[in-house]
Amino acid sequence: MTMFEGRTVLLTGATGGFGRAAAHRFYDSGANLVLSDLHDDALTAFASAFDSARVVTLAGSVAQETLASELVALAFDSFGSLDVAVNNAGIGHDMKRLPQIETEEAWKVIEIDLMSVFYALKYQLPALERQFRETGRVASIVNVASVAGVAAAPMVSVYAAAKHGVVGLTKSAALEYVRRGVRVNALCPAFARTPLVMNVLEREVEEKGITLAEAEAHLTRGIPAKRLAEVPEIIEALIFAASPSNSFFTGQTLQVDGGMTAT
């Protein structure tokens, strides 16, 4: 039996860099998948790579509270359980000093990166507690935050504020539910080689007339490892946090950051 055989995994941001890799990893480990992302066409195309008997999808914006409720209901209606929830969807903003960030842009980041996690936890936690009371089955929630959620992040201040908020929600929820059958942890990666990060680097190349290698070196200058993380490295940490055998691990920020927060 594989690690997640017969278990149900809910994953937002399913068509992004981390989302795609996580979905494949959970699926290959035996899980049923409840996948969500903003655009229905992209989500449906991605889901077609899996056995339709083990995957359901629901497109929508995580900034809308109703989506969080509907995803939990979809998991139980489709597969009879919810064992892992990975609240992964998020956005960033252009690198600029705090006063240069438009208020509208700041609210958008807060709504998608922070409020979406609040909505998710609001509906996931009671359902998972109820499942634990009825079946004794312990569930795991992993909120994808960022190293910017545990340290200062100049030039991306609103993003950092939102991710700090995700860490706060994670720790608080973990203590509220540690004896109610739910583990809650935050995954805090540094810059990884995702499409989102590569788009940022390509804009730097275009705007500053530098090479991609120079842009990457500049972006990773604060990382002792002096490189981007590779997506599979981040997914290894995600699987560790979500694993049902990791039953004493809760309320933690799992920093996968090339040594950034070591000092």
Nearest to 9 by CA among 47, 35, 38: 35
- Whether residue 159 lies in the annotated active site: yes
3-state secondary structure of 73: helix
Query: Regarding beta strands 55-57 and 84-87, do their DSSP bridges make them parallel or antiparallel, or are they unpaired?
Result: unpaired
pLDDT at 14: 98
Question: How far, CA to CA in Å, does 28 sit from each of 9, 22, 42, 58, 210?
Answer: 12, 10, 21, 21, 40
Residue 1: pLDDT over 60: no
Residue 57: pLDDT over 90: yes
Is the whole-model pTM more than 0.75? yes
Residue 164: pLDDT over 70: yes
pLDDT at 95: 86
Cβ neighbors of 218 (< 8 A, separation 6 or more) are 204, 210
pLDDT at 2: 86
Please give the Cα distance from 144 to 7 (Å, whole number).
20
Catalytic residue, chosen from 27, 119, 123, 159, is 159
| DSSP annotation string for 117-150 | HHHHHHHHHHHHHHHHHHH---EEEEEE--GGGT
Nearest to 141 by CA among 261, 3, 249: 249
Please give the Cα distance from 192 to 195 (Å, whole number).
9
Residue 263: pLDDT over 80: no
For the stretch 106-137, pLDDT in tens is 999 999 999 999 999 999 999 999 999 999 99
